[in-house]
Amino acid sequence: MLGTTNQPIGTALGTNYSKAWEFSLNNVKFERQEVPEEFDIGHEVMVAEHQYINASGQPITRTHFQGAYNVPTSWKGIFTTAVALQHAQTIDGFAIAGKPVKFVYGPLSWMVFIKKFVYKPHFQTEVYYEIDLIVLKNLNGQNVSPFYQTFDSQVQQLYTNGVANFMTLYKGDPVIANNTALIAELAAIGITP
């Protein structure tokens, strides 16, 4: 794309192309104006949130960190070099193969899966495209270790504590202890007083 003075409009690589960062998918290097102005990178943190009233009547919020996941990324662009159609066909081949590809942006890199790639040739040297990537692995040393205690084990511990607390209450209250309907309901879910 050219400005009104036939000078290139700035992109993510800037206009000093001799010092430009590499932007590529496997062996397909995006040139000059082919690099998108912006795309998303980063992580989404997964958190289980529990709100309840404690024994003192105070509202409590507890969070349980579950891990972090790389956010997907997508962008639209135009291939504008003499090999524009070849680049589009190569990336389409990556998508069809369904195998991970390396995505590089300067010093940053990821292993990605191409979820969607659509291209629209206008001319041999002008191909519009859209791409959606699922980030499989961050290759920049920012991978988050999973939390040591899983949410399932925490829920199981809450259930176990709840049963123990109920059994203490059950044994200390003759009205509950003599309630045959309650005893039958407990037996149905595997709790025998």
d(C-alpha 83, C-alpha 79), whole Å: 8
Q: Are strands 108-123 and 101-105 parallel, antiparallel or unpaired?
A: antiparallel
What are the beta bridge partners of residue 128?
A: 78, 120
Residue recorded with tokens 């041999």:
124
Q: Give the angle 22-26-133 at the CA atoms, nearest 5°.
A: 95
Contact status, residue 90 vs residue 42, Cβ threshold 8 Å: no
Upper half-sphere CA count for residue 193 (Cβ side, 13 Å)? 21
Whose CA is closest to 154, among 68, 57, 62?
Answer: 62
Quick one: pLDDT at residue 148?
47
What are the beta bridge partners of residue 67?
A: 46
Residue-wise pLDDT tens digits, 108-152: 899 999 999 999 999 888 999 999 999 998 888 776 555 445 556
Whose CA is closest to 81, among 11, 31, 36?
Answer: 31
What are the beta bridge partners of residue 65?
A: 47
Contact status, residue 34 vs residue 79, Cβ threshold 8 Å: yes
**Identity of the residue numbered 67:** G
Whose CA is closest to 137, among 88, 185, 103?
Answer: 103
Residue 121 host element (H or E): strand 108-123
pLDDT digit string (tens) for the chain, length 193 residues: 333 343 434 444 444 444 568 899 999 998 877 888 888 888 888 888 888 888 888 888 888 887 888 889 999 999 998 999 999 999 999 999 999 999 999 888 999 999 999 999 998 889 999 999 999 988 887 765 554 455 566 667 777 777 777 777 666 677 666 777 777 777 777 777 6
Contact status, residue 74 vs residue 131, Cβ threshold 8 Å: yes
DSSP string, 27-47: TEE--GGGS-S-----EEEEE
